[in-house]
Structure 1
Amino acid sequence: MTDYGSDTADDAADVLVLRKGTHGIPIERYADALRDRLPDRTIRLARTPSEEREAIRHAAFVTGMVLEDDLLEVAESLEVFACAYAGTGHLPLDRLEEREVAVTNASGVHGPNIGEHVVGAILWSTRRFHVATRRQRRREWRHYQAHELQGSTVTVVGMGAIGRAVCTRLEPFGVETIGVRYSPEKGGPTDEVIGFEEGPFHEALARTDYLVLACPLTETTRGLVDREALVTIDPNATIVNIARGPVIDTDALVDALRSNWIRSASLDVTDPEPLPEDHPLWNFGNVQITPHNAGHTPEYYDRLADIVAENARRFGADGSDGELKNRVRL
């Protein structure tokens, strides 16, 4: 059951769960998943703004999707914030660093579901299911030409947990893979690994059949797929973006689709986002748009709870935050 009692410094919960959920799944399921994994700890779910403000005052270990400035202001005892998202750019990281609060993320939670989403998007383009859907809608029995994935070259930008999961799921398809990462000397689960330097990246694009964007949005990756990249990439290529919308120059992408510089695009993220109703990207038959939905999985809270519960154990063992999983560098 949810603990709704008021906290003092002596009876503060071992883990405080903030009230915002994600993917339309009740946040109670996350709290329950933590309780299942930490039966000897007190897990408190704060369900109202006033509860949050009161409970966080004496909480050392807090987990949630967001941490607003006004809430951080009253978090007098905070030592660890376990972010329930893989990305942490929305958090007040500077203030957390000043407070010497350890921050962890949910890296690894999305590997299976987004990996499956990417493979599905690639096969959608390869077998041209969008053409079949249009003809079925018209009740038109007419053959069309398709493609074959085997023997293709897939370039995956980003070798984090999601990029690695994509590569693992592509292995049975008999494709050549190129990985793009900041530190290519670290290697990766691909046949070849390169960095973000323009020369090697454009050379890879020239022989790429499927470009998968699975990287964080940084100064390096913002606008990475620009007009030059879209002119350089193989004209029979498909682009799959499950990273962030601004990794692609949207105006250049529209021009590329209108001019047949690429075969197709599958976009789970867009720039702007949400995509306005009158945006031209909606009208291309060879563009698949999903509403930032690749991250949805019914297993989200269970996978997240595995990470956070383990960190709660490590933190509770000696009060140290030095060995936490998925710790974010501040």
Structure 2
Amino acid sequence: MSDHDVLVLRKGTHGIPVEEYADALRTRLPDSDVTLARTPEAEREEIEDARIVTGMVLDEELLDRAQNMELFACAYAGVGHLPLDRLREHGVTVTNASGVHGPNMGEHVLGNILTFTRRFNEGFRRQRRNEWRHYKAHELHDGTVTVVGLGAIGQAVVERLEGFDVETIGVRYTPEKGGPTDEVIGFDDDALHGALARTDYLVLACPLTDETRGLIGSEEFVTLPPEAVLVNVARGPVVDTDDLLTALRSGWIRGAALDVTDPEPLPRDHPLWDLGNVQITPHHAGHTPDYYERLADIVAGNVRQIAETGEYDGLENEVSL
């Protein structure tokens, strides 16, 4: 492989063949040789000379064979599963897929909010029973939505709330940076609890870190109004599951829409399945048929920049190691 050709590793995502990712890169990089390593043996052989590698995962054994790799373009937004210390030791630049999930996850969150607002789940239940009987609903208008995490996903959620006449509060590590919400606060307890006390919908769209692990527990559920709804598209451990069960059973909150859980996958006999005020999806919010197209836009743009400048610094979505 030449300096600016691209090696695609074999693991795909969302049930979409990884060949579609390789084809999307070839369309955007007609002057580059985009090679898809479709077997473990091909990965071991091709990575030895590859300078630009992209894929979902990269284990240490494969990394040790990558003698010339300068860039690993991770095809996931999160990079916690990668051997980051070893990549840093090897001097490899790492980028991620931040921004790829914005539209679909924003729509998923909005769908969850509207489902609980208009109680579509109750309508579905009555339809299955052929039951024409009215039920009470709610309004999103004049409500308050708090979004924890103002990265690409959180911003997409806020953008899709425009036009619903809601107050928005954003929670981020660096509130001085501001954001698209009406108000931006940090993670300190007083500010967070002050926001929760006036929140109708709490949306979790943050990464799992030492600071966010267990962020929402008993104290937070008691602080939320009893009509509040939790929407979690972040990671399961951001919420204390035992405290969530207590809150849902005790009426501390009205309900929860969970795309992620702790544990995950959620065991078949877990009590969350049987609660009528819980909407569960199987870590599905990230699915989009346009995943590889959006990812290829980012990776191809970086490959072109490298070809023009010869530099592997200052790339889009570069991860600080």
**Distance across 2 between alignment mates of 1:119 and 1:257:** 21
**Distance across 2 between alignment mates of 1:95 and 1:153:** 44
Tell whether 2:193 aligns with 1:185. no
Question: Which residue of 94, 106, 109 maps to 1:115?
Answer: 106
Following superposition, the deviation at residue 80 of structure 1 comes to 0.3
Following superposition, the deviation at residue 317 of structure 1 comes to 2.0
Q: TM-score, normalised by structure 2?
A: 0.99
* Structure 1 segment 127-142 matched on structure 2, within 5 A: 127-142=118-133
User: Which sections of structure 2, spanning at least 5 residues, go unmatched?
Assistant: none
* Structure 1 segment 37-116 matched on structure 2, within 5 A: 37-116=28-107
Residue 175 of structure 2 contacts residue 186 of structure 2 at CA under 8 Å; is this kept in 1? yes
Moved over 4 A (4+): none
Aligned to 2:72, the other structure's residue is in SS state: strand
- When structure 1 is superposed on structure 2, of 129-138 and 291-300 the one drifting more is 129-138
Aligned to 1:266, the other structure's residue is in SS state: strand
Q: RMSD across aligned C-alpha pairs, in angstroms?
A: 0.9
Following superposition, the deviation at residue 318 of structure 1 comes to 3.2
Following superposition, the deviation at residue 285 of structure 1 comes to 1.1
Residue identity opposite 2:199 in structure 1? T
Residue identity opposite 1:42 in structure 2? D
**Distance across 2 between alignment mates of 1:59 and 1:317:** 18
Correspondence for 2:148: 157
Correspondence for 2:7: 16
1:296-321 CA-partner distances (Å, limit 9, x unpaired): 00000000000000011111223211
Residue 4 of structure 2 contacts residue 306 of structure 2 at CA under 8 Å; is this kept in 1? no
Tell whether 2:302 aligns with 1:311. yes
Residue identity opposite 1:288 in structure 2? Q
Aligned to 1:275, the other structure's residue is in SS state: coil
1:56-101 CA-partner distances (Å, limit 9, x unpaired): 0000000000001110010000110000000000000000011110
Question: Which residue of 151, 164, 167 maps to 2:158?
Answer: 167
**Distance across 2 between alignment mates of 1:12 and 1:151:** 55
Distance 1:80 1:12, change over 3 A: closer
Tell whether 2:321 aligns with 1:321. no
% same residue = 69
Tell whether 2:245 aligns with 1:245. no
Aligned to 2:155, the other structure's residue is in SS state: helix
Correspondence for 1:32: 23
Following superposition, the deviation at residue 323 of structure 1 comes to 1.9
Residue 256 of structure 2 contacts residue 277 of structure 2 at CA under 8 Å; is this kept in 1? yes
Residue 4 of structure 2 contacts residue 307 of structure 2 at CA under 8 Å; is this kept in 1? no
Tell whether 2:273 aligns with 1:258. no
Residue 264 of structure 1 contacts residue 286 of structure 1 at CA under 8 Å; is this kept in 2? yes
Aligned to 2:163, the other structure's residue is in SS state: helix
Residue identity opposite 2:124 in structure 1? T
Aligned to 2:85, the other structure's residue is in SS state: helix
1:111-150 CA-partner distances (Å, limit 9, x unpaired): 0000000000000000011111111111111100000001
User: Which sections of structure 1, spanning at least 5 residues, go unmatched?
Assistant: 1-6
1:163-187 CA-partner distances (Å, limit 9, x unpaired): 0000000011110000000000000
Q: How many residues align?
A: 321
Residue 264 of structure 1 contacts residue 287 of structure 1 at CA under 8 Å; is this kept in 2? yes
Following superposition, the deviation at residue 277 of structure 1 comes to 0.4
